Structure 1
């Protein structure tokens, strides 16, 4: 409280001093004066006083005025604090919004009623290859004149006129890019989100071309071509489906397997295969049997994940090829092979029995006539038994050849060096014959029994057909992307060029026929096994310079 008529520093001067100092600016001030009248009171309030009290006044009036002034001051202070808090919240919210608009992947900008930029985010600046300073305050149609000739101009004006949100896509020829616009009008401005969708549009165009091609192929394909979503519903199916199920393409679209496959166990198995493709994201091939009209149909189904432009898996695509005839042929072939095995075994047994009888009988005759047979007759009996033995070997070899590559064999993982060591140990090369194995040798996953038979025959041939008391065989392996190559190089007598094409023929031998150790069927068996396993075998040789065999063996047989 200050009296206006105080000496030295009057009340009005004190009031001005207090109001000019930030630390005392908010202190409530009541001016006291003997001057009455509305003019004096207004003068004091205009100077910044909270109240004006005219003398004389009672103590009660003074207390009431002070209390009211304090309460009003407190209310002003609280109002000021609330205003500051709201202002801070607004500034924080504005900063958050600007942060969000700056960080979003879409471009964002605001135009006023004069089509001038009032706000642009960083992404929009990046898309336009301009800074915010180059755009703010500029008219959009002056800054980008080619846009006037596009549908953007019409959509923007319509949004302002109708005050309705709008969304559209457009191609900007000047930059050869596609954009998606989302427009939100207000009475004073136009807010736009824009995203570049060039890659998506190109992908859609490519997908459209692919679908068109797929339709063209599907219309004439005998295979079932289809696409499904993650729930197994058909997105695409070609007319070939009607060859198996009494449903049209229109009836099947949007349906899953259980709608048209009455064999629900088969439908569930198909669904399980589809799920495995979606889970792994890798293409695979399945044999899928289905009972149709009481008959089993088997389809070889190649399935792959169906992805969107961002690589997300939307479902699967597949081709089903009817292999029912092939499966029936395989069953029939298996039955014939079993019959052949039985026949060959029976023939082998029935042929070898009289041969053994002939051999035994000749030996008994020779024993009974011991000392009475001339040397020529003894030699003839020996030749007879040699040829009987050779005949037995040929029958055994014929049985091996008939079975070569047809036995059930499973793939296993093993070290080639260990396999070669076992083979060499079982063959027991003579003391003068050396075998060198060149490292490195691979670890294989294949049919060990078949490869063992191939390498055993080739190594045994190198040992058996060597003409010197000493000999050498060099074994090495080369790894290729899709197969292994095994190289066996000996220093034996070699093979004449005119004989090289025949060595893989059955019953072909380069030794005299009476040599009981050679039936001419070993290399034929090797060739049959190698080709059954989708490999190759060839040789290089010159007389007197040894022979080199090259065997290729696929890494992933059957795939």
Structure 2
């Protein structure tokens, strides 16, 4: 133990603990004179045992803070109590070589008016915080660029695409009889692919807007919403969609939950391969969340594709066989995760698939509002 003044009477166990402590510890008197410093303090500040004997606390603080520190030290002497300094403040220590370091400081009163100061070097933490701020700033810039890109896609790509589609439709209507079978087939493929690209652009725009555009959080009756979605999709007569009774009412942005149900149900309809298609929508209470499931008796999905299908632009069937942009499940996944939930699929090839997703009973925005009210 580095004992600067031999006349200090401190419990030997306390001295031993200071000796092995990783943080710098200093004991000072009411006048700010340093009485005791542990080895960690010597390493941190760069002073030797003998040099500490002639120093005051203010010698370990940058010049610009010293006048203010003297007044704060006097205030502490009047009301000594254990406290941590640094929260909301910028505190710095000064080494022997003149270099400064960011610090947090803990003060504890001990016998005879003395104070134990524990000094934490937080230089690395400050460096990481600065790096985090830089990365957040860069991410915000990238998000803004993506937002602008979405507008470019919307205006600069869709306009000429509409012109191509209109021209193709005109040729198909007015020049149909002049085209042979091959020409008519090529024109059909052209119109189909123009419409597919238009749908793909719309899908990318919807995907880019998730999390940026918000609407009011309201009570959403999932039973009512599920039937609205089914009516809007108008399943063919050979497909039966069953909604389990007792679906809950949740707090959510209605449009986003509607997108989730619409994508999942429309996929089940689109990929149905049985003479009698069966789709079931049900729900289970999982304590702090609801687990919803959309089950079908379709072709099923191989296990190796379970993760891939949620990636942007990924489809399992050739687009000329089943029209799909490969964006729908990516949108569903992004929305569900925005709510703090998760989505997954369970499937047996030839028998069908069930897509499960969870929705917290407490909407994230509502939770944040409650926290702000509590604070």
TM-score (norm: length of structure 2): 0.60
- Select 1:357's aligned residue among 159, 163, 180: 163
User: Any idea what SS the aligned residue of 1:550 has?
Assistant: strand
Distance 1:484 1:366 in 2: 50
Q: Aligned pair in 2 of structure 1 residues 242, 407: CA closer, same or farther (>3 Å)?
A: closer
Distance 2:133 2:218 in 1: 26
- Select 2:273's aligned residue among 456, 462, 467: 467
Q: Which residue of structure 1 lines up, in the alignment, with residue 70 of structure 2?
A: none
User: Any idea what SS the aligned residue of 1:434 has?
Assistant: strand
Q: Aligned pair in 2 of structure 1 residues 486, 469: CA closer, same or farther (>3 Å)?
A: same
Q: Aligned pair in 2 of structure 1 residues 360, 241: CA closer, same or farther (>3 Å)?
A: closer
Q: Which residue of structure 1 lines up, in the alignment, with residue 262 of structure 2?
A: 456
Cα deviation, residue 451, structure 1:
2.0
CA contact (8 A) 2:218 2:251 kept: yes
Q: Which residue of structure 2 lines up, in the alignment, with residue 447 of structure 1?
A: 253
**Structure-to-structure mapping, 1:218-229, within 5 angstroms:** none
User: Any idea what SS the aligned residue of 2:178 has?
Assistant: coil
Distance 1:250 1:389 in 2: 67
- Select 1:388's aligned residue among 154, 172, 194: 194
Q: Which residue of structure 1 lines up, in the alignment, with residue 83 of structure 2?
A: 237
Alignment of 1:536 with 2:342, yes or no, is yes
Distance 2:186 2:88 in 1: 75
Deviations 1:231-284 (A, max 9, x none): xx99643132484379x9799x9xxxxxxxxxxxxxxxxxxxxxxxxxxxxxxx
Higher relative contact order (CA 8 A, sep 6+): 2
Alignment of 1:401 with 2:247, yes or no, is no
Alignment of 1:548 with 2:354, yes or no, is yes
Q: Aligned pair in 2 of structure 1 residues 411, 367: CA closer, same or farther (>3 Å)?
A: closer
Q: Aligned pair in 2 of structure 1 residues 331, 352: CA closer, same or farther (>3 Å)?
A: same
Q: Which residue of structure 1 lines up, in the alignment, with residue 299 of structure 2?
A: 493
User: Any idea what SS the aligned residue of 1:547 has?
Assistant: strand
Deviations 1:482-516 (A, max 9, x none): 21111111111212333333211211122222257
Q: Which residue of structure 2 lines up, in the alignment, with residue 374 of structure 1?
A: 180
User: Any idea what SS the aligned residue of 1:238 has?
Assistant: strand
Distance 1:360 1:448 in 2: 34
Distance 2:155 2:88 in 1: 54
CA contact (8 A) 1:438 1:475 kept: yes
Q: Which residue of structure 2 lines up, in the alignment, with residue 520 of structure 1?
A: 326
Q: Aligned pair in 2 of structure 1 residues 325, 525: CA closer, same or farther (>3 Å)?
A: same
CA contact (8 A) 2:251 2:363 kept: no
Q: Which residue of structure 1 lines up, in the alignment, with residue 231 of structure 2?
A: 425
Distance 2:284 2:296 in 1: 17
Q: Tell me, which stretches of 5 or more residues in structure 2 are unaligned?
A: 1-21, 26-78, 93-103, 110-127, 368-375
Distance 1:249 1:324 in 2: 20
Alignment of 1:343 with 2:140, yes or no, is no
Moved more, 490-499 or 323-332: 323-332
Cα deviation, residue 366, structure 1:
5.0
Distance 1:235 1:450 in 2: 52
Distance 1:367 1:422 in 2: 35
User: Any idea what SS the aligned residue of 2:310 has?
Assistant: coil
Cα deviation, residue 450, structure 1:
2.2
TM-score (norm: length of structure 1): 0.42
CA contact (8 A) 1:438 1:476 kept: yes
Decide which structure has the larger Cα Rg and report it: 1
Distance 1:366 1:250 in 2: 81
Q: Aligned pair in 2 of structure 1 residues 326, 418: CA closer, same or farther (>3 Å)?
A: farther
Q: Tell me, which stretches of 5 or more residues in structure 1 are unaligned?
A: 1-215, 220-232, 254-321
CA contact (8 A) 1:541 1:547 kept: yes
Distance 1:333 1:250 in 2: 35
User: Any idea what SS the aligned residue of 1:548 has?
Assistant: strand
CA contact (8 A) 2:346 2:354 kept: yes
Deviations 1:125-172 (A, max 9, x none): xxxxxxxxxxxxxxxxxxxxxxxxxxxxxxxxxxxxxxxxxxxxxxxx
